[in-house]
Amino acid sequence: MGHRLGRILITQDEISLRVRELGQALARDYQGKDPLLLAVLKGAVVFLADLMRATELPIACDFIGVSSYGASSRTTGVVKITADLSQTIEGRDVLVVEDIIDTGRTVAYLKRNLLTRHPGSLRICALLDKVGRREVEVELDYVGFSIPNEFVVGYGLDYMSLYRNLPYIAVLEPEDGGKLP
C-alpha cells in the first residue's frame, strides 16, 4: 500500500475524556435550546456518535457531505456539497461537527453556505485542529485537540477509505520515508 501506521498521536482514553468534556460544554452552552448537530460526512460520524452520547440534552442530528478532494488524496482547493441536509435549519441552533480543520477552506465554505439558510445560530466543533496548515482564517467554537502538521488517521479519519475504525488517532507514514499529502 505504500504506507504504514506510525505512532499513536492521541489515545482512545484521551479521546474519550476530551469528548466527555466537549459534551459537558455543549450541555451547558445549549441548555434550554434545541440544537441540531450537523456532521460533515464521512469523517465526523464517529465523533458525532460519541459527542451525542456525551451531551445530556435532547438533540437532533443531520448530515452534509462536503468534498475538496475529488478522487485524489490531496485537496484541490475547490469545495462542493456532495450530499445536502434532509431538513431545514432556518431558526435552528446549528452546531457543525467536523473531524479535522486543515486549510480552513472547507469549513469556511460550509459556514458561508449554511448562513444563507438563516440558522438561529451557527457554531463549529472540530475534533482536530491542524493550525499549521491554515490558509483561511476560521473561528472554531469547540476544539478537541490541536495537532501538528502530520497526516493522521483513525477515529473516523481515513486514508483512501481505510483506518476510520481505529479507536485512536495515529500518524500515517509512507513506507519509503517520503511524505503523504
Q: Which residues have a catalytic role annotated?
A: 102
Rounded to whole angstroms, how far apart are CA atoms 137 and 150?
19
Q: Retrieve residue 13's grid coordinates.
A: 482514553
Rounded to whole angstroms, how far apart are CA atoms 22 and 26?
6
Q: What is the largest CA-CA distance in the chain?
A: 54
Alpha carbon of 10 to those of 98, 126, 153, 154: distances in Å? 17, 15, 10, 10
Bridge partners of 169, per DSSP, are: 10
- Beta-sheet pairing, 142-146 with 36-41: unpaired
Tell me the H-state helices in 7-162.
12-29, 45-54, 105-115
Rounded to whole angstroms, how far apart are CA atoms 113 and 109?
6
The one-letter amino acid code at 137 reads E
